[in-house]
Amino acid sequence: MKPNPEEINELVTKLIDEYRISTRFINILWKESDHYEQLRELIETRVSKVDKLKLLINSKEALFFSGSSKRIIQLRAKLLDNMADPVLQELYSKFGKENYCYYRSMAVRELSKKRWISGRSWPLAFVNTFGFPRVFAGMKSTKRPPRFMDVLPFKPPPPLKRFQKEIKKNLITVLNNEGDHTRCIVSLPTGGGKTRTAVEAFIEWLKPRFDKGKYLIWIAQSEELCNQVIECIGEIWQATEFTEPLRVYRYFTSGLEISKLTFDSKISGIIIYEY
């Protein structure tokens, strides 16, 4: 559900005029928002706190009060601290911890950190108590998980054939060399298992060097071939029962130049590139 302009204006007016959310705090929310970089040009011009707050609400829509970030908890706490004591006490009696004595500071702290599940009783009570539009309580999810699921068995890839094992052995020998001695060409008939053999050789060579930032750059001439090698890599990596995940970078169907590739040099992985 998306709030309409009237609902956004109503929320902004209440937050600023009625509940006195300060310009300083709005600026903090603004600068720490996910959209700050995108809106930098606007920030460098004079933007009123009203417009900043509207942009913030527009970016999160009905989820403006949801989440567990430090600033959202602070915002909820500031609002709760504005409540008259009898109203806060009643809210705490319904949604606070059971069998706890009421202390104002404790009630504000606990309620501000209370888990926010869109459309449920706590968000509804929160927005209703402050007179905010109902939309900002969010919508209760109507999705239900299926009554059953099929867990597929793990199917290890079939063992390499004798000629593939020989090529794999030679490939690992080449990978262990240095300089120009690391170059070779693998030639097999169509369907002979070039991809499978090369991937298995690289993974076996990589395992003892995994924490040294070693990478394989795999270049293919089509998106289909790129996806085929990713599928093969996944099957072989899972079959090795290695305890670490293998990172695969997809650099295809995006027109990305190879000179602009960026990746984490501290962990090993595979870069798939379409040329």
CATH architecture of the region 162-274:
3-Layer(aba) Sandwich (3.40)
Q: Per DSSP, which regions of the chain are E strands? A: 215-220, 247-251, 269-274
Task: Answer yes or no: are the C-beta atoms of 77 and 68 closer than 8 Å.
Answer: no
* Banded model confidence at residue 253, pLDDT cuts 50, 70, 90: low
Q: Among 49-53, 168-172, 250-254, which is the least confidently predicted range?
A: 250-254
* Banded model confidence at residue 217, pLDDT cuts 50, 70, 90: confident
Residue 106 phi/psi, 5-degree rounding, is -70, -40
* Banded model confidence at residue 238, pLDDT cuts 50, 70, 90: confident
CA angle 160, 163, 167 (to 5 degrees): 90
Q: What is the reported pLDDT for 254? A: 55
Q: What is the reported pLDDT for 38? A: 55
pLDDT per position as a tens digit, 134-156: 999 988 776 777 888 888 888 88
pLDDT per position as a tens digit, 48-96: 888 888 888 888 889 999 988 899 999 999 999 999 999 999 999 889 8
Q: What is the reported pLDDT for 84? A: 92
Residue spans of the domains in the chain: they are: 5-137, 162-274
Question: Can you give the length of the chain in residues?
Answer: 275
Burial readout 46-59 (b: 16 or more C-beta within 10 A, e: otherwise): eeebeebbbbbbee
Locate tokens 């070039």: which residue? 194
**134 token code pair:** 């109902």
| Whole-angstrom distance, CA of residue 30 vs CA of residue 200 | 49
Q: What is the reported pLDDT for 154? A: 82
Residue 12 neighbours by CB under 8 Å, 6+ apart? 50, 53, 54, 57
